[in-house]
Copies of this chain bind each other. A is one copy, B any other.
Amino acid sequence: MGSRVTIRDVAERAGVSNATVSNVINEKGKVSESTRKEVLDAIDALNYRPNASAQRKLQSSGPKSIGLVVKEMHNPYFADVIIAAQEAANEKGYSIMLSSSEGKRDTEGRAVDLFVEKDVDGIVINPLLDRDADLTHLFELKRRNIPFVLLERVRGLRSNLVDIDNVKAAREITTYLIELGHKNIVHFSGPEYSMHAEERIEGFRRAFFDSKLVYSEDYVVRAGAHLEEGYEKGLAYFQDRPPEDRPTAAMCYNDLVAIGLLRALRELDIDVPGEVSVTGVDNIKTCEYAPVPLTTMGVPTAEMGRAAVEMVIRQIEAGGQHEPETVNLQAELTVRESTAPPREVASAE
């Protein structure tokens, strides 16, 4: 076992006291070359490794750190958040440690536990929505008085939150499509484990109610959060639907799903935006590099990361006496080439 060997084992083997070994390790001078060598040999022979916790953390409190748990590594959205969070943390003298739940709730729980175990000063977490309401690890944080902020609302938990107004964002981009003249719009919605997904469905629906169009639950097709899901669900959806029965616009949960859909439409030889307009949410950089530059609701990811980190730090340094804070960020429409008026309207004009 690696860490079983203690400083005293080394001392004994070298025939000196533990203090001397400590001095050698920390190069505190004051050690003769000969004993130094003996100690070094003993360390080598025993493969000794100082226990970092005992070494520093017990006395002073080590480097300030924040744990950050995201939902998936494959979404550039999180890369943006992470980079901004790291920057903000560094500015304040904190370091960030990351972990990704990859959509698995137990992984999320273990990540949080690990951070607690490693004694981070605070945690930022983009939680998975939980049907079973298993918020144990979050309540555990509360119990332990460890400051944390959420990047997505969780039902039944009052806590610090940095989030965007998803209902509004989805409503706005759907309205944009409706005003373009689209009447038959499909929404490829997000994963079930996400509050954001629910909120965007809600926004989609509200846009319909705002207009004169009738809304049907059939307009919502569950997709997910990844490229593949946009592709597969998109392919399945458009494949066996005769052109006249086809929606003229697809509002996707996020950019990845939209880009996946773009691939499906390309393979089906359906023109974007000629036959179908496509929109995403997030405005990840890839939008400009997609087969058709993507119209999307831009989420201020960098601000989110920064705001979240600044919020935890505030909580940490206030000693937890703070009331829960909430920051709500707004998404912003960016029009690119993947949207246009539907053909009928376009040609009628």
Contact = CB atoms under 8 A, between A and B. Distances in A.
Nearest to A43: B145
B83 A2 contact: no
A165 interface: no
A236 to B, nearest CB: 17
Contact of A73 (B56, B83, B263): B83
A116 B289 contact: no
Interface string A16-53: 00000000000000000000000000010001111111
B96 A99 contact: yes
Interface string A91-106: 0000111111010000
Given A49-B144, A49-B146, A117 B56 contact: yes
A317 B2 CA distance: 6
A169 interface: no
Contacts of A291: 289-291
Given A99-B98, A227-B285, A47 B121 contact: no
A337 B135 CA distance: 48
Interface string A114-143: 101111010000000000000000000000
A311 to B, nearest CB: 15
A47 B289 CA distance: 50
A90 B106 CA distance: 11
Given A47-B321, A97-B99, A259 B2 contact: no
B65 A114 contact: yes
A315 B62 CA distance: 27
B2 A320 contact: yes
Given A73-B82, A263-B288, 4 more contacts: A49-B146, A49-B320, A97-B98, A228-B285
Interface of A: 1-3, 43, 47-54, 56-58, 61-63, 65, 73-74, 76, 78-79, 82-83, 86, 90, 95-100, 102, 107, 110-111, 113-114, 116-119, 121, 144-147, 227-228, 231, 259-260, 262-263, 285-286, 288-291, 316-317, 319-321
Nearest to A262: B289
B83 A102 contact: yes
A57 B47 contact: no
Given A63-B114, A99-B96, A51 B119 contact: yes
Given A74-B79, A319-B1, A118 B289 contact: no
Contacts of A73: 78-79, 82-83
Given A47-B319, A54-B58, A61-B3, A97 B97 contact: yes
A65 B119 CA distance: 13
Contacts of A83: 73-74, 100, 102
A47 B97 contact: no
